[in-house]
Structure 1
Amino acid sequence: MSPKADTDASPSSNSNTADGITSGKVIDAVTVKKEPPPESKEAIWTRRLVILSFWAVVILIGLPVWWKTTAIYRADLPLQVMTDWADGKTCRPVFPLRIAVEAPALPSQDAQHLLRTTQHALDDLNEFSAHHLRLLLAESSTTVNTSQDILPITNYKDTGLHGSTNDEDIALSIRLIPGESGTTPRSELQPYSPTLEVYYTPNQIPPSSSTSSPLATFIANELQKVFAEEQATLAYLLSTSSTAHNSKIKSLSPETAASLERQSTRAFKYAPTYHLTFSLFTPSATPSAWEVESALHEYVSPLLESLFSISNFTVDTQVQLYATFSPSIRQPEYDPERKAWTLRKEDLSGFINAAEWPLSPSIGVGPTVNFVLYVPDQNQSPLLVKENGGNSWLIPQWGGVLILNPSTQLNAGIPTALSKDALRPAMLTFSNQLFSLLGLPQSPASLPLRLSTLKRVRAASLLFSASSTLGALARLTKALPSISIPDTVAKSVDQTIVHLHQACNELREGRFHSALEHARVAEAEAEKAFFERSMVGQVYFPDEHKVAVYLPLLGPVAVPLLMAALKELKNLSRSRKKGSA
């Protein structure tokens, strides 16, 4: 039994041994990875040089070319100078007004002493240091120094009144006239001449030993009244600008400040050219014609000629028949007490039918000032404003409207054509409305004085506006470092600064017409620099847009280069670790 068991056991043992050997070989073949042949040093360096060459091309050629071709050009701007102008640190505007005194009936010594006494009284009354009046004798072209003797203009430098004096540099002429009848002293301001006539008696001339005089006080008070609104306007302009902290500002009452604010919001912004459009509208077929050219030549052209030193004007006329009311307002209501048709005051702002009436605001070079003459239908005539019974009103920064009611005579009817005489009230009303829309002051009664006041106010406002624009451009340049600044902007900024300096100097010298010309150029150049087309486009191109543009282009190229560089760095680190072990 025993040998058989051994015999049976032997084959089984051999089979297990063979199976174990076979399974072991299979396991070794599976678990042992087949290693690639070792890489030669030449191949390793070749691969590294290829990767390095790609990176060298990207860094040494690609990046400089990309930087050069995509760099934003920024011309150098005098940012600090621009900021100083905006903050009012560069120019302190002053308005020295020359007042020429004509005293042919007085001896030279008496005239000089009267001027010196009057100058002292003026300085005592003046509360606004930036606006001061300086008296000079018309015969000898001398000016008054309150602390010294009368000196020639060529030597008077304390207030900047040196150099030759032209007629246009004289703000006002005072004509001293001896008068035997009537109350004296008294004054009369000429309506169409910058002349103030002062009547006096010989006994009112102050003796050389006196330091004050009722006549000198009277003249000083009259001068203060003449230039009171100008002083208030300039004080308001300075108080609303950034230069207020550099000047002693005259305090204004709340009523005066509110009135000046209404005037500023009603008037157009200054422009070198305005386009005037005179329109005739009627809801029927008549009137179909009007003698507007002769009426404009007779009543409006002289006023426009007086304004040419401040702005230019172009004129256009038109006639529109069957012009209906705007549907947004209520129809006129009949008032039996007035026996007239009335419009409510709240409907006046919507009286203009902008949807159907051809009133384009883009006609001409500058802003369009519209003047509408409306002739109502005979069935709704006369047509008045219910609250005040008027027939005209002003639309701020747009124009004026006047309702021309036909004759109220029985069976007179509406004329088929409006004559020059019939248009006279309308043209005079439009002239007053134009003055209000241009910001012409309401006083004094002399038109040349009001025009010279407007010239000084416009010069100051343009100077402040150009300075403010420079400051805004400087802040924009600092806030957006990616914005482009072409050379044209730098050139315009330089021109603005040059003309601002000249305008400020001309103001100090009292040459206001020249100051207005320089301030006008400075304002135009500042606006040109700030609204440069190529620069404005960069404002609306943020960095997020650049990422959206570059990422799809550079992503597929950058990923292989980065992965290859990282893999090579890992291999280099692994080889260094093996070498150290």
Structure 2
Amino acid sequence: MTGKNGDHESPRVSTPSNANANVKRIPPPESPAAVQTRFKVIAAFWAVIIFLGFPIWWKTTSVYRAHIPFQEMVDWADGKTCRPVFPLEIHLATPAMQSPEAQHLLRTTQHTLDDLNEFATHHLRLKLTNDSDTPTTQDDENSQGNASNAEKEAADTALTVRLLPQEDLAAPRSELHADTTQLDVFYPPSQTPVSSSSNPPLSAFIAGELQQLYAEEKATIAHILSSHAVGLDSPSPQVAGSISRRWRRSMQYAEIYHLSFSLFTPGPAPSAWDIEAAVDEYLSPLLRAFAPISNFTVDTQVQLYATFSPTATLPEYDETEAAWTLKKEGLSAFVNAAEWPLNPSIGNGPTINFILYIPDPSQSPLVVKENRASSWIIPQWGGVFLLNPPLSQTDSSGDRVNPAHLPLETLRPAFMTFSHQLLTLLGTPSTPVSLPLRLQTLIRVRAATLLLSASSTMGSLARLTESLPSIPIPATVSASVSATLSRLAATCSHLRAGRFGAALANARVAEKEAERSFFEKSMVGQVYFPDEHKVAVYLPLLGPIGVPLVIGLIKELKRVVASWKAQRRPT
């Protein structure tokens, strides 16, 4: 083709550039060998994950939960398995009565006791005995043939009542021995019961004395049981408040207590005291009497130049009393815990501190202002005793000074007070006057509290393990739970049979095993590692690995499905 200028023009060819851009380039088809290789690689990865990785992960991260009887533990906590009872066996000795008269007195007194008793859980069982005979009741002959070996074990004798006639009496009177478990009842011979009398005055007197003797124990046990179980009658608010105040002052029960006796003085003297002789003379008999309940260790120390705490209220001189006085509200700051080297708790048992403070001669005598007392109790901690003149002496210049050594007789009032303070701190009841009877009451009270405490711990453990299925239950916990339940059953059996010493021994072991199972370290640590923490740990590790594997598996599944559909499509 020729243009205007005679030049030749080349022909124009239009190229479809836009069309080529819109055409999707299809990769060349894969060879069957490549497809098969990719399938094998993906299958190998998932086979390793499913058949090797997942079982190893499951085995290494699974939580072992040993078998524990959940329902039985809850039943113990709810009081469905055992309702503790306290049958007290009281021996009735009638050396001056004939057998028919003694049997009639036993029946009428027992009926009177049953009528007076409004708390069926705690009841008194009378048994007739003589000095050389075995205690018997009117039903013993029928029951002995059917008794099992456990039932043949003798129950603890709570009290022995001796009936002694006395000519010059107009009415019966009683006398309780302070160092034994014997109650002597003196009665005029004219009041000897006869079979024709349905309610002899002597029976009413004995029943009234026994009710009065165990009134505080009944109220204490009723208060303890009512605070753990619904539906049980509790004592009056005044009695319950008195019992609560006494328990708040006492130490928590322990199998062993550490007694620490400290001598503090603001000057250089006294620097020695007959502490070993004082402990042996005034305290060891009491500690031996407590052996069925708790054991004790004793340590002592002497601290010179022990000053008052800077925050403590200093003594003030009272001219009307002619003494230096401490205000009652300031007694809580009297012990200088920051500078006085008081012994902390040693081992597993709590420490009870007893402080003997010798005031400076210039501040003697030192007493409490409100009641002129020289001692007081610090609840759940210990006691303090102020040892005042006349122990002060004068030196060569005529100044009053404290002696360098405290002999045994000088320590007597302090350690007699420490003995009473120890009884209070250990929760011993205030009545009756007989110490053996008070310790027997303490055995029954401690057995009840430990039984209820261990049962409550079992219920808490069962609810905890059910609410947190991710925490482990080691085999040691299962063994402790089994031991606890076994000991609880033994405790309940001994209580029903009146063997309170054996009941306390089993309850003590049950409480220890229950605490051990509840505070197992491996369980407690797992509580603070919930499932959210596990997800936070696994995601950064498994995310980068899992996403490519899952996407590759999905693509391969799509290819297999598409190939399968293509094969089924008609040609």
TM-score (structure 1 length as normaliser): 0.92
Q: Is the 8 A contact 1:441 1:454 kept in 2?
A: yes
1:107 equivalent in alignment to 2:87: no
Q: Is the 8 A contact 1:156 1:162 kept in 2?
A: no
SS at match of 1:105: coil
2:328 corresponds, among 336, 345, 350, to: 345
1:50 equivalent in alignment to 2:41: yes
Amino acid at match of 1:57: V
Task: Tell me how far 1:156 sits from its aligned partner.
Answer: 9.9
Amino acid at match of 1:492: S
Task: Tell me how far 1:29 sits from its aligned partner.
Answer: 4.8
- Distance in 2 separating the partners of 1:175 and 1:101: 6
Structure 1 counterpart of 2:128: 137
| C-alpha spacing 1:480/1:572, structure 2 compared with 1 (3 Å) | same
Structure 2 counterpart of 1:175: 162
1:85 corresponds, among 70, 76, 82, to: 76
- Distance in 1 separating the partners of 2:535 and 2:306: 57
Q: Is the 8 A contact 2:264 2:303 kept in 1?
A: yes
SS at match of 2:228: coil
1:405 corresponds, among 375, 383, 388, to: 388
Stretch moving more, 369-378 or 326-335: 326-335
Task: Tell me how far 1:36 sits from its aligned partner.
Answer: 1.9
SS at match of 1:37: coil
Structure 1 counterpart of 2:32: 41
Stretch moving more, 305-314 or 561-570: 561-570
Structure 1 counterpart of 2:547: 559
Amino acid at match of 1:193: T
SS at match of 1:240: helix
- Distance in 1 separating the partners of 2:283 and 2:142: 39
Structure 2 counterpart of 1:233: 220
Task: Tell me how far 1:365 sits from its aligned partner.
Answer: 4.2
Task: Tell me how far 1:331 sits from its aligned partner.
Answer: 1.5
- Distance in 2 separating the partners of 1:554 and 1:406: 81
2:457 corresponds, among 469, 473, 495, to: 469
- Distance in 1 separating the partners of 2:452 and 2:391: 52
- Distance in 2 separating the partners of 1:219 and 1:452: 20
Q: Is the 8 A contact 2:91 2:135 kept in 1?
A: no
Structure 2 counterpart of 1:96: 87
1:206 corresponds, among 193, 196, 221, to: 193
2:313 corresponds, among 319, 322, 330, to: 330
Q: Any idea what the Cα deviations from partners look like across 1:322-371, whole Å, max 9, x if unmatched?
A: 11111222211121111211112121112111111111322254110000
Q: Is the 8 A contact 2:169 2:188 kept in 1?
A: no
Amino acid at match of 1:207: V
- Distance in 2 separating the partners of 1:215 and 1:157: 34
1:290 corresponds, among 273, 290, 307, to: 273
Q: Is the 8 A contact 1:275 1:365 kept in 2?
A: no
1:434 equivalent in alignment to 2:434: no
Task: Tell me how far 1:372 sits from its aligned partner.
Answer: 0.6
- Distance in 1 separating the partners of 2:495 and 2:193: 34
1:531 equivalent in alignment to 2:519: yes
| C-alpha spacing 1:395/1:161, structure 2 compared with 1 (3 Å) | same
1:388 equivalent in alignment to 2:371: yes
State the identity as a percent: 56
- Distance in 1 separating the partners of 2:403 and 2:314: 24
1:8 equivalent in alignment to 2:4: yes
| C-alpha spacing 1:532/1:370, structure 2 compared with 1 (3 Å) | same
Q: Is the 8 A contact 2:361 2:401 kept in 1?
A: yes
Q: Any idea what the Cα deviations from partners look like across 1:504-526, whole Å, max 9, x if unmatched?
A: 00000001111111111111111
Q: Is the 8 A contact 2:317 2:324 kept in 1?
A: yes
- Distance in 1 separating the partners of 2:186 and 2:465: 61
Task: Tell me how far 1:419 sits from its aligned partner.
Answer: 1.0
Q: Any idea what the Cα deviations from partners look like across 1:296-330, whole Å, max 9, x if unmatched?
A: 11101111111111111000000011111112222
Amino acid at match of 2:386: I
- Distance in 1 separating the partners of 2:485 and 2:320: 63
Amino acid at match of 1:488: T
Task: Tell me how far 1:568 sits from its aligned partner.
Answer: 2.6
Task: Tell me how far 1:268 sits from its aligned partner.
Answer: 1.1
1:487 equivalent in alignment to 2:483: no
| C-alpha spacing 1:164/1:534, structure 2 compared with 1 (3 Å) | closer
Q: Is the 8 A contact 2:154 2:499 kept in 1?
A: no
- Distance in 1 separating the partners of 2:172 and 2:203: 10
Task: Tell me how far 1:270 sits from its aligned partner.
Answer: 1.0
Stretch moving more, 324-333 or 514-523: 324-333
Task: Tell me how far 1:463 sits from its aligned partner.
Answer: 0.7
Structure 2 counterpart of 1:165: 154
- Distance in 1 separating the partners of 2:266 and 2:522: 48
Query: What are the ranges of 5 or more consecutive residues in structure 2 without an aligned counterpart?
Result: 395-399
1:501 equivalent in alignment to 2:489: yes
SS at match of 2:401: coil
- Distance in 2 separating the partners of 1:410 and 1:288: 15
- Distance in 2 separating the partners of 1:241 and 1:154: 34
SS at match of 2:159: strand
| C-alpha spacing 1:150/1:141, structure 2 compared with 1 (3 Å) | farther
SS at match of 2:4: helix
| C-alpha spacing 1:33/1:342, structure 2 compared with 1 (3 Å) | same
- Distance in 1 separating the partners of 2:150 and 2:244: 32
What is the correspondence of 1:177-196 to structure 2 with a 5 Å cutoff?
177-196=164-183
Amino acid at match of 1:135: L
SS at match of 1:444: coil
Q: What RMSD, in angstroms, separates the aligned Cα atoms of the two structures?
A: 2.4
Structure 2 counterpart of 1:374: 357
1:119 corresponds, among 110, 119, 125, to: 110
Q: Is the 8 A contact 2:248 2:379 kept in 1?
A: yes
Query: What are the ranges of 5 or more consecutive residues in structure 1 without an aligned counterpart?
Result: none
Q: Any idea what the Cα deviations from partners look like across 1:119-173, whole Å, max 9, x if unmatched?
A: 01000000110111011111354554xxxx5544844999x9952536xx11000
- Distance in 1 separating the partners of 2:305 and 2:193: 71
| C-alpha spacing 1:36/1:164, structure 2 compared with 1 (3 Å) | closer
Stretch moving more, 291-300 or 561-570: 561-570
| C-alpha spacing 1:157/1:500, structure 2 compared with 1 (3 Å) | farther
